[in-house]
Amino acid sequence: MSAGQSSDHDVSRSLLAQLGIFGIDSSAAGPSFKGPYNINVDTVDQSMFTALTKGNPELQKLISSGPPQFGTMLEDLFGIYYKRAPDLVPTMSVLKPNLVVRPIVERLLTDQAVQNARQTTVMNEAESAAAVLTAGKVLAEEMKARDLNDPLCKHRPDKSGQQTPSPSAPLTPEEEQALHEYDGKAAGLGRAVRKATETAEEETATIEAALSGWGFGSEDLAYMDPAERLKFVQRLLTPSMQAFAAMIGKMRNFSRAAQKSRTVFPRAEIHGIELGDDLTRVLPSELVMLLAPDLELDFLKRFAEGSLLQYEMKPKEKLGKGPKIICIDRSGSMDGKPLLWAIGLAMGVVDAAYRDNCPAYVIVFDHEIVAELEFVKRGNPVENLMKLASVEAGGGTAYEPPLTRTLELVQGSKYGRADLVFITDGICGLSDEFLTNFNQVRKQKELRVHTILIGYTEADALMSFSDKVYAVQGVEDEAADEVAGTIFAEVVS
């Protein structure tokens, strides 16, 4: 920062103090202005932390659990995690009550675990706040156990009628001695600081892995309010959400492998016969000429002229690159791993559609439709994904409601020629009238139906409305992974 910029910064801070933003007397403003922070945090950082705190009771409780300076120390820690280049303000610029926690802040600033976590938290409000919550809880417990309260409290007059000295006033000899003794006690906090920051580093890595498993990027969360983002990343740490993230991550890997093979081995079909010089498509009757010495020169001449008979190939229509509809049975018998597997597979299909810039529509049903979620490229998937992850098993099973809704979708312009993935663990009857109508529309709209029946070894009963049916006896079997891979090969490649 240049001298001019520094001067402007000081003036700005002085004005903010006069406005009461730092919560101190305006008499503290001026050349000797002092603030409550040991880290150079600006009003944007402060406002952000305030917004996060207001929307998070857990953070509010943590702030009130420590000594008087604990809240501003947590803001310092937030600045360390969040800012691109956090730095200490000069000691002379810190209000003396807040010098109490400076040794701790200095250790936090140089801690290696903090530096590791900053690979994820820098310029990320929610993950920075989550790290502050985790590290702050450990620090609060350690400070309480070591009786590291404000050492200056006992040196402040508290008799009725006496005025408390300004927090910006110079330290008295007694206060200097108290701080020196406190520094000695705080020096033993090194191990506690490491414990706090290493715990926060582990949690930050867990959040990052969960976000990756769900397929989220920072741009997907950018629209959310900071406090909502913090709640969201905290929710990702729950065991159930981590299980979802692991399953979805596995299914996304299947999906992307299928997309990759689609690129490496593009489909094509024979359309006719033409003249050319592509040896990979030359007719066998032409290649046989190379075995006859008297015909070899003629072959080479025609090869040079590009007049060999060869197959005319045309790219096969990429049926997998179209809209997707996924119907998930959430009946009571799907509780637990079957529903987790079904949602994971559904999200793998959604991921493929998202990457292909195609719409995807998820229908959750039992004896009726209980949720409908649409995923489109320009939309934000976070809210829908969280709704899908919140689905609980319950109710009976009826095919007609989701299949009727599917017909409505495919008869519109957006979901024509779609792939339907229908996942269930029960066999339900459908009337002849319904089946006739469904199959007629299915043929007209070129709807491809892939049905997965969980808990069975055979699934012929569902062929009445499906193109292909796959039986999965147990979702933890290797066969279930094979079925998932086959589904992705069919609907993605």
- pLDDT, tens digit (0-9, with 9 covering 90-100), for 427-464: 888 999 999 999 999 999 999 999 999 988 677 778 99
Of 362, 359, 395, nearest to 378 by C-alpha is 359
**Residue 410 reports pLDDT greater than 90:** yes
Residues 68, 49: Cα–Cα separation, whole Å: 17
Q: Is 375 helix (H, G, I), strand (E, B) or coil?
A: strand
- State percent of the chain over pLDDT 90: 25
pLDDT (average), residues 34-57 = 88
- pLDDT, tens digit (0-9, with 9 covering 90-100), for 267-278: 566 778 889 888
Q: What is the pLDDT of residue 482?
A: 83
DSSP of 97-111, one letter per residue? Answer: GGGGGHHHHHHHHH-
Q: Provide CB contacts within 8 A for 487, sequence distance 6+.
A: 345, 349, 421, 450, 452, 470
- State percent of the chain over pLDDT 70: 76
pLDDT (average), residues 33-62 = 88
Q: Which helix (H) or strand (E) holds 29?
A: none
Number of residues written out for the chain: 493
Cβ–Cβ under 8 Å, residues 323 and 412: no
Q: What is the pLDDT of residue 25?
A: 35
More confident residue, 162 or 124: 124
**Residue 165 reports pLDDT greater than 80:** no
Domain residue ranges in the chain: 1-33, 37-157+170-237, 268-315, 324-491
Q: What is the pLDDT of residue 479?
A: 79
Q: Work out the pLDDT band at 200, boundaries 50, 70, 90.
A: confident
More confident residue, 253 or 303: 303
Q: What is the pLDDT of residue 97?
A: 76
pTM of the model: 0.61
Question: May I ask the CATH class of domain 324-491?
Answer: alpha beta
Question: Based on the number of CB atoms within 10 Å of its own CB, is 408 exposed (0-12), middle (13-18) or buried (19 or more)?
Answer: exposed
Q: How far is CA 210 from CA 141, 197, 323, in A?
A: 28, 20, 27
Q: How far is CA 364 from CA 18, 94, 177, 204, 297, in A?
A: 57, 57, 67, 32, 67
Q: What is the pLDDT of residue 379?
A: 62
Q: How far is CA 123 from CA 115, 128, 140, 345, in A?
A: 14, 8, 25, 33
Token duo for residue 111:
């801690």
Q: Which of 34-38, 81-85, 182-186, 262-266 has the highest mean pLDDT?
A: 81-85
